[in-house]
Chains A and B, each alone.
Chain A
Amino acid sequence: MTRDQTFDGTRPAAPAARIDESTVGGAAVVAVDGELDVGNIDVLRRPLVVAAQASDTVVMDLSAVTYLDSSSISLLVAESAGLRARRAELRIVAPAGGRARRVFALSGVERGLALFETVDAALAARREGLDLW
């Protein structure tokens, strides 16, 4: 019998991520729970695009993310730039010591993104931003 150590791709071990979409005072909030990687990043792409169309301020809550990789960084950087171009904003909740903050640090994009400790802080910053505007 031939032994073929290949994988048939049906292993039920895809990374699991749950996405919650809500609106708080005119801001769209997208919260992610679980793991995000190159294999499932599309679960985040659609809600992010929808939120960006619906609202001038999108809050991306990554505080419950347990794994994040460069595909998420690419998506967030691109969406952030897109929103900024039409005077809207992507605010990312990535508390210090969390996985997301660590990955942003490793990727060197920290300074180009609007990072916050909590969702409340991100929402409050919105009001300040409007006042400033």
Chain B
Amino acid sequence: MTERIPSSRVLVVDDREENLAALRAVLEPLHVPVVEARSGEDALRELLAAEFALILLDVDMPNLNGFETADLVKRHPRTSHIPIIFLTAFDEPLARAAEGYRFGAVDYIAKPCDPFILRAKVRVFLDLHDQGVLLARQAEQLERHVEQLRVSRTALADAQRIANLGSWEYEPSTGRVRGSRQFHEIFGLADDTPLPVATELFARVWLDGGRSRGDALLHTASRANFEGELRRPDGSVRHVVIHVEPRADALTMIGTIQDVTDQREARRALDAVLGALERERELVQLFQSAVAAPALPHAPEAQVSYCYRPAESAVVGGDWYDVLELPGGEILLAIGDVAGHGLAAASAMAEIRTAFRVLSMRESRPAQIVEELNRYVTRARPDVFATMLLLRFDPRTGTCTMSNAGHLPPLELGGAEVTLHTYELDPPLGTALSRSNREVTFTLEPDHTLVLYTDGLVERRGEALDEGLRRLTERVASMRPDDAELADRFVGACAGDDLRDDVAVLSLHHRGARPVMSLTLPADIREVAPLRTTVRRWLHAFGGADDDVEDTVLALCEVVANACIHAYAPGVDGTIRVDGVIEGDDVRLTVADDGKWRPEGGRVGGHGLRMAAAATRELSIDREDGGTTVVISACFKTTRRDESVPSRP
């Protein structure tokens, strides 16, 4: 053996120096570390200090003799395995040798010993020792490997169990299948029952949606994957994925089978949930977009702005607002907040808004509309709880009539300081609490602005509402009431805050009567009637006389209706802009479209422009490629002299 194990030391014990020197000389060619001890006690000390492969022990020593020393060595668990060779005088009787063996000696050598024999014996013991050590190491490694194998087998079994994956092996020559524990499990067979032959077993699997039997896969010539339905003995059906792979020797096939029923169901459930969420998100956006851009009122005295900002969480809330112009010229402003988020809140919000629109067509008293909405919500959406503020504004007088169902107070800008209209509230919609249906009336002075908002603007987590309102009034105190984008400013002022809730802001600025008006309306004949109301009121506000105002309004409406019909092809969305300026007793109205003039097809008539010209002092038409502009000049204050009309060709 060329390489010695580090512990291959030899302990030489002899009380005589000349003997030790002789043994040293004998062992020297073995190139092995030799430790010398001069007594039994010395020897025991050395043995406890280090590992030894062999002890050469002199029998005759003072005090502790060789046998006694050997006895102690053999008794100590740490040293009992070390082989001992006794060295004794040549003339020792044989009986002593026997005694030596009794004390655990492995050999017995008489002195003076033959160096060759001693060396040979020592070498044998050293080799034995080294081999033992190596074996022990190998055994240890083997044990570790076995443990690793056991662990990985367990892990494999666990993995197979967790993945619901079974492995199998098939011998075409015998038709036999061997399968893992999980393989049995998937097939619904007890672990210890012998498996049926492969063709029978795999015939329980149906591939291609039931069109072919699974035993076909046993004839696969190359790696392949199959999906199918496995019918188990108990009648249950599992969805399985089978992998097949012929071995290189072509004598066996190996494969796996995985039960993916649960995954597929989980996936389907997940898809259903994700699909529902996506649809909900789309619907909510649809609802929200319908609410986000109401029509702005015609009335030149009223300047309305609005802003909606969704919550940062991207969960849509139930905030809404709406603006309606009543036939009499008043403006209804509504703002509300449906409790909760998501589809339920958004759909309830859309429902309430629609109900509000329908109710406002036959009822103009805010308290009455709110009361009916409450009745509607209580009956139709008992799951819903919503606050709402409804305000009717009369642009002629600035009178505001308000009904407030649990909503935050409107804020007024324009006075010496910011005012909150904190009147007594009615309970929110959808609550069983008794209602007073009170209506409060106040005047919004010209140049003042009323701002309606939802709680997302002021409410912050862990803070009293009063605190939020106080902060809001501080923040907006320096804003200009006539800012055309006041609602955006309000939302912008809170942009730094963590907006967990959505925010809606609606502002109404009372401009007072102005001798200038400007409107943009869709090219739709249904817009003509509200336009008439607006212009009629505007002219009356500046002292118009009934008949003259009616003639002017007639002329304007004829021109606008003409533009609706002639400027845009059916189905084309166009807009018409109407500008008006009052100077003294005269009004100049300009109607501009950006469509192409189309001769009216198939209709006899065309009284419109002729009437318009007859009803006004001057009417000019400017047709260009980019659109048509008609300018009407009329006196709207003189009382008509007679019924006569200028004659025309």
Contact = CB atoms under 8 A, between A and B. Distances in A.
Interface of A: 1, 3-16, 35, 37-40, 67, 69-71, 73-74, 77-78, 96-97, 99, 101-103, 105-109
Interface string B285-314: 000000011111000000001011100000
A37 B435 CA distance: 42
B615 A13 contact: no
Interface of B: 292-296, 305, 307-309, 324-327, 357, 360-361, 485, 488, 491, 520-522, 524-530, 532-533, 547, 550-551, 553-554, 557-558, 561, 564-565, 575, 603-608, 610-611, 614-615, 643-645, 648
Nearest to B293: A4
B561 A69 contact: yes
Contacts of B361: 12
Nearest to A75: B605
B570 to A, nearest CB: 15
Interface of chain A: mostly helix, strand, loop or mixed = loop
A74 B603 CA distance: 10
A108 B614 contact: yes
Given A35-B529, A73-B607, 10 more contacts: A1-B491, A6-B575, A8-B293, A10-B357, A14-B529, A16-B327, A69-B611, A73-B611, A101-B643, A102-B643
A13 to B, nearest CB: 4
A29 to B, nearest CB: 25
A90 B91 CA distance: 168
B316 to A, nearest CB: 15
A6 B298 CA distance: 11
Contacts of B575: 6
A108 B610 contact: yes
15 contacts: A1-B307, A1-B488, A5-B296, A6-B295, A6-B520, A15-B532, A39-B526, A69-B557, A69-B608, A69-B611, A70-B606, A73-B605, A74-B603, A102-B547, A108-B610
Given A1-B307, A108-B614, A9 B522 contact: yes
Contacts of A7: 295-296, 521-522, 524, 527
Contacts of A39: 525-526, 528-529
Contacts of B530: 11, 13
A15 B531 CA distance: 11
A13 B529 contact: yes
Contact of A74 (B357, B550, B607): B607
Nearest to B294: A8
**Leading 7 A-B pairs by shortest Cβ distance:** A74-B605, A13-B530, A70-B607, A70-B608, A15-B529, A12-B361, A7-B295
Nearest to B613: A106
A16 B533 CA distance: 12
Contacts of B295: 6-11
A36 B554 CA distance: 11
Contacts of B307: 1
B557 A13 contact: no
Contact of B309 (A1, A12, A74): A1
A69 B605 contact: no
B615 A37 contact: no
Given A5-B296, A13-B530, A69-B554, A96 B643 contact: yes
A69 B558 contact: yes
B603 to A, nearest CB: 8
Most chain B CB within a 10 A radius of its CB, from A37, A38, A71, A78: A38
Contacts of B327: 12-14, 16
A88 to B, nearest CB: 20
A106 B520 contact: no
Contacts of A11: 295, 324-325, 530
Contacts of A97: 643
B614 A106 contact: yes
A67 to B, nearest CB: 7
Given A67-B532, A67-B550, A9 B526 contact: yes
Nearest to B524: A9
A37 B530 CA distance: 12
A99 B547 CA distance: 8
Most chain A CB within a 10 A radius of its CB, from B551, B554, B561, B644: B554
A3 B305 contact: yes
Contacts of B357: 10, 12
B293 A13 contact: no
Given A12-B326, A12-B360, A1 B308 contact: yes
B508 to A, nearest CB: 15
B525 A106 contact: no
A5 B529 contact: no
Contacts of A8: 293-295
Contacts of B520: 5-6
